[in-house]
């Protein structure tokens, strides 16, 4: 029913809607009785661009008039080709002449759409984090500047105990204070105490382990 109604419209044309901020564009076809109906397009990525930047920052221009709906569809198929979809500035997800569905979208278009959505979600979350950090005083240095401030006695005691425990665990570890070295000519690798490193370096050993020769 919708196709039959569209075919009865007075004007049939190919249009191009461009975002004035990003200069990215969408090319589509439209049938209408009123040239000034305010139609900008129905593409998913175009709709996302309009939502993000606003209608006032998008401009539609009519590229070509066609006599009927059939020739309009054929002409859109010629213009919105695979080459057109490969352009990074193109907001179209599928080739021209096809109705939208998830199967008709090109793989490149699907990936671009998902990347674009995820990127903006990440940016929004980052912006929220920045605003929170500013409100919390992180960027002013209030929370990071310890000049004139001291830890509480109980905090200092906890830090001492934690440091002592970590030191004890490191010393009990058989690898503590050692380093791997290797000798290419002898095809050997071994772990030595760090204080003996210079002795080995002097006779041709180098730092690093090699598992297979």
Which of 80, 68, 61 lies closest to 6 in space, CA to CA?
Answer: 68
Burial status of residue 30 (CB atoms within 10 A of its CB: 0-12, 13-18, 19 or more): buried
pLDDT digits (tens, 9 = 90+) for 36-62: 999 999 888 899 999 999 999 999 999
What SS3 string covers 120-181? HHHHHHHHHHHHHHHHHCCCCCCCCCCCCCCCCHHHHHHHHHHHHHHHHHHHHCCCCCEEEE
Which of 94, 93, 96, 95 lies closest to 113 in space, CA to CA?
Answer: 93
Please say whether the beta carbons of 36 and 23 come within 8 A: no
By residue count, the chain amounts to 213
Residue 21 CA to its chain's centroid (Å): 19
Q: What are the extents of the domains in the chain?
A: 2-105, 178-207
Please state, as a whole number, how many other Cβ atoms lie within 10 Å of the Cβ of residue 93. Answer: 22
For 2-105, give the CATH class.
alpha beta
Which pLDDT tens digits describe the chain residue by residue (213 residues)? 455 577 888 999 999 999 999 999 999 999 999 999 999 998 888 999 999 999 999 999 999 999 999 999 999 999 999 888 888 899 998 888 755 444 445 555 555 556 555 656 666 666 666 666 666 555 555 555 556 677 788 888 888 887 777 766 666 666 667 888 888 888 888 888 888 888 888 888 888 876 565
What phi and psi, each to the nearest 5 degrees, are found at residue 47?
A: -60, -35
- What is the number of alpha carbons within 13 Å of residue 146 lying toward its C-beta? 3
Alpha carbon distance 31, 92 (integer Å): 18
Structure tokens at 55: 């209608």
Q: What order of strands is seen across the sheet that includes strand 206-207?
A: 188-193, 178-183, 206-207
């Amino acid at each position: 029913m919708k196709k039959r109604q569209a075919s009865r419209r007075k004007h049939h044309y190919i249009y191009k809607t461009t975002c004035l901020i990003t200069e990215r564009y969408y090319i589509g076809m439209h049938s209408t009785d009123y040239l000034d109906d305010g139609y900008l397009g129905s593409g998913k990525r175009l709709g996302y661009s309009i939502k993000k930047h606003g209608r006032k920052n998008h401009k539609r221009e009519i590229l070509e008039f066609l006599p009927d709906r059939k020739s309009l569809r054929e002409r859109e198929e010629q213009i919105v080709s695979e080459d057109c979809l490969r352009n990074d500035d193109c907001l179209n997800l599928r080739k021209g002449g096809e109705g939208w569905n998830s199967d008709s979208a090109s793989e490149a278009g699907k990936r671009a759409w998902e990347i674009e959505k995820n990127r903006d979600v990440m940016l929004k979350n980052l912006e929220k984090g920045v605003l929170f950090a500013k409100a919390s005083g992180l960027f002013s240095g209030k929370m990071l500047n310890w000049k004139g401030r001291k830890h509480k006695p109980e905090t200092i005691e906890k830090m001492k105990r934690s440091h002592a425990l970590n030191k004890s665990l490191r010393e009990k570890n058989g690898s503590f204070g050692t380093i791997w070295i290797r000798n290419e000519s002898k095809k050997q690798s071994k772990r030595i105490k760090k204080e003996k490193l210079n002795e080995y370096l002097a006779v041709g050993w180098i730092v690093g382990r090699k598992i297979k020769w």
